[in-house]
Structure 1
Amino acid sequence: METQELHRGRLIDHIQLVVRDLDASRAFYTAVFDVLGVPMGGTADDYFWADELFVSTADSEAAEGKLTGRHHLAFQAQDRAAVEAFHKAALANGGTDNGAPGERPYHPGYYAAFVLDPDGNNIEAVYHGEAKRSAPSVKVAF
């Protein structure tokens, strides 16, 4: 049976790429996002972003001062308890602590935990605090 409708929520909150040459990456992403109509932000010397993609240098504060693997991937959590459960489950299943559950300075209510997966990728679970969603998911109809 052919799929006629999908419901997509926000499994992936954001992705961070730590790059060797920020100027080259900025030029590349500016070009491709201009074509795709995706606005870019960030004028700092060590990062920029577009939608939920965050690109930084290794020495950016956002990169936690060290390369941890090939990628940083953040998943949205429903609440603080889910962030804590994520951290516990990750550590029990081959992950390494890279930031215990707690408030982060990114915005008020940002509560997150970080682990390194078995390959050294920096994986995060984040709860953005009390907020009202406009919809539980995006409906895609074919």
Structure 2
Amino acid sequence: METQKLHRGRLIDHIQLVVQDLAASHNFYAAILSALHVPLGGTGDGYFWADELFVTSATSPAALGVLTGRHHLAFQAKDRAMVEHFYQVALAHGGQDNGAPGERPYHPGYYAAFVLDPDGNNIEAVFHGDAQRSADSVVISF
């Protein structure tokens, strides 16, 4: 098994999605993550992973035969063009539109696109505008 670098100080250590059709999910996630310049970390019998996202089939021992519910995952993009590219790639690889690229009211400069993955998870690519370029962290108010 491959090893990963441990990143201390993150809020989330890892996320597991349990999907119905691993091949369809692999096709979708490999494409959108590539559009976001995130390489797949590896694959195995019944799973694949990238960074801290693990995607498994329901038959994987880690899944215990239960699909995860609907989730919302937001991936950071380096600019608006990357958000737009993510959206087009997602639609071409089994994603469904859930919000075309555009400004959102969450804070000034919040530019995002939303798609549903093959299992109905709400997947977002977001660029936080000038705040993202000028700081390592951004305070967001909801």
TM-score by length of 1: 0.47
Task: Kindly name which structure, 1 or 2, has the bigger radius of gyration based on alpha carbons.
Answer: 1
Return the structure number with greater strand share.
Answer: 1
TM-score by length of 2: 0.47
| Structure ranking higher on relative contact order (CA contacts 8 Å, 6+ apart) | 1
